[in-house]
């Protein structure tokens, strides 16, 4: 039995990879600096041995292959041990390509925002229609309760991230996946820690476009200049467009204000009506993309729409964490101004009649901490009635700029306890609190609910 050891195993991608390798029958172990639930419990339940920290003893005796996560860098004790002893090693995306995706029909979901939700929608459609797809998604789909499974051939849905592959492979992860069906949801500047500008990201996306076969399909939103410019570099694959705003091959009509009910047409022919538990125009666009991709895999649009009516969503994507004394607390992964704006727009449409929208934001992404988005952050928060900002310890700029731009409705705090006390004092029955961060935010969601 092949034994693989994964460095950085508790990340969503690497943890999902570990579960897939275990399903393949491999012996799997792994190391991480923070071995903690929910990923640790998922892995231990699958019979995967976990090591706290990156000590060399986890690699002795030597495994057949070491899979190195992209959070690992030179100087890490385990990485240095692998290199010094000439152990066989590989990146996570390349392992996925060679051991899981080979000979599969890969449906990849790429883009700056919405990848996890759209990939979850697509997996749900294929599953509900009896195709039992495999998937690896950067979050836990409520319909499956897991982030990865091997599934049945041929279909495999993968969230296709543009972040770099490993310290020894600076290509974007997604070039390893070789999709036949590709969704490009959107394309904006992000990941300022590894990309110099939007053009650098467009170049990586075009590397992905180059490997989609001529019998494949590229699905993208209508009239997005960054995507249109990228496709103009060369595209050898048929394309289909979608839009909840503009005229496109896939579009919405007769939408409710919250986009929890709308018609879907393809090439101006009504395909069906989607009435579901989700909300927001961004989710309507995600749905159009997923339905188009499913049709490429052979699922009629009407059947895909029917399947999405049951879609439960994804953890940390406007996930209702609880309601106490008439105050609802939501958790959302939004950390880019566009995602923040679309999250709050959707939340505003779902407010109860007398309620207010209270936005609580931790700007902790690498790009946000570097100040790349500071000129657009205030605008992205305009839909909120009150804004509460937590200043990260290692931020390179002052959040006072955002507070001044938003006026009386915004406040910033340097300690989570101070922020918590003010939000609890402010919130009243009928209000919705939307907490936004790409991290754990000090467990603030439960602390809010307990305080309420």
Q: Residue ranges per domain, the chain?
A: 3-92, 103-308, 319-451
Q: Give the per-residue pLDDT at 158.
A: 98
Chain CA centroid to CA 17, Å: 16
Q: Which residue has the tokens 């953890």?
A: 315
| Whether 199 contacts 235, CB under 8 Å | no
The reported pLDDT for the residue numbered 30 is: 96
Helices 281-296/301-308 angle, 10° precision: 140
Q: What is residue 352's predicted lDDT score, i.e. its pLDDT?
A: 77
Domain 319-451 classification at class level = alpha beta
Question: The pTM is what?
Answer: 0.80
In the prediction, which pLDDT does 439 show? 73
Class of 103-308 in CATH: alpha beta
With CA atoms as reference, report the closest residue to 136 among 161, 170, 111. 161
Q: What is the pLDDT of residue 373?
A: 63
Q: Which option is the CATH number for 3-92: 3.30.70.360, 3.40.50.720, 3.30.70.1890, 3.40.50.620?
A: 3.40.50.720
Low-confidence ranges of the chain (pLDDT < 50): none
For position 366, what pLDDT does the model report?
62
Residue 365: per-residue pLDDT: 65
Give the pLDDT score at 41: 82
Measure the CA–CA gap between 261 and 357, rounded to whole angstroms: 22
Residue 299: predicted pLDDT: 98
Residues 6+ apart with CB under 8 A from 180: 105, 106, 107, 212, 213, 215, 216, 217
How many Cβ atoms from other residues are within 10 Å of residue 407's Cβ?
Answer: 9
Cα–Cα distance for residue pair 131/298, rounded to 1 Å:
10
Predicted local distance difference test score (pLDDT) of residue 367: 58
């Amino acid at each position: 039995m092949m034994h693989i050891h994964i460095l950085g195993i508790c990340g969503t991608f690497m943890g999902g990879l570990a579960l897939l390798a275990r399903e393949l029958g491999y012996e799997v172990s792994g190391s991480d600096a923070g071995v903690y639930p929910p990923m640790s419990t998922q892995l231990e339940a699958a019979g995967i041995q976990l090591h706290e920290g990156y000590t060399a003893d986890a690699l002795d005796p030597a495994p057949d292959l070491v899979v190195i996560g992209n959070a690992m860098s030179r100087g890490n004790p385990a990485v240095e041990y692998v290199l010094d002893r000439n152990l066989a090693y590989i990146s996570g995306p390349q392992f996925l390509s060679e051991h899981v995706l080979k000979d599969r029909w890969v449906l990849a979901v790429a883009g700056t925002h919405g990848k996890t939700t759209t990939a979850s929608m697509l997996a749900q459609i294929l599953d509900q229609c009896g195709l039992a797809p495999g998937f690896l998604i950067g979050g836990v789909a409520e319909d499956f309760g897991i982030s990865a499974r091997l599934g049945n051939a041929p279909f495999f849905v993968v969230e296709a991230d543009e972040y770099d592959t490993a310290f020894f492979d600076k290509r974007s992860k997604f070039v390893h996946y070789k999709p036949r069906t590709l969704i490009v949801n959107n394309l904006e500047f992000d990941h300022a820690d590894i990309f110099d500008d939007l053009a650098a990201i467009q170049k990586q996306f075009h590397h992905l476009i180059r490997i989609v076969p001529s019998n494949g399909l590229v699905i993208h939103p209508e009239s997005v200049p960054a995507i249109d410019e990228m496709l103009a570099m060369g595209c050898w694959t048929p394309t289909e467009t979608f839009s909840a705003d503009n005229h496109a091959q896939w579009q919405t009509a007769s939408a409710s204000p919250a986009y929890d009910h709308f018609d879907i047409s393809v090439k101006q022919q009504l395909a069906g009506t989607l009435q579901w538990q989700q909300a927001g125009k961004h989710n309507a666009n995600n749905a159009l993309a997923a339905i188009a991709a499913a049709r490429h895999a052979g699922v009629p649009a009407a059947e895909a729409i029917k399947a999405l009516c049951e879609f439960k969503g994804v953890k940390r994507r406007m996930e209702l964490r609880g309601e106490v004394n008439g105050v609802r607390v939501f958790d959302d992964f939004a950390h880019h101004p566009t995602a923040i704006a679309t999250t709050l727009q959707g939340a505003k449409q779902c407010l109860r009649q007398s309620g207010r929208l209270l936005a609580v934001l931790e700007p902790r992404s690498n790009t946000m901490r570097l100040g790349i988005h500071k000129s657009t952050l205030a605008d992205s928060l305009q839909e909120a009635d009150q804004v509460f900002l937590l200043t990260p310890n290692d931020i390179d700029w002052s959040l006072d700029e955002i507070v001044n731009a938003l006026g009386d409705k915004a406040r910033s705090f340097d300690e989570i306890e101070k922020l918590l006390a003010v939000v609890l004092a402010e919130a009243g029955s009928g209000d919705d609190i939307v907490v936004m961060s790409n991290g754990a935010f000090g467990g603030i969601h439960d602390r809010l609910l307990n305080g309420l």
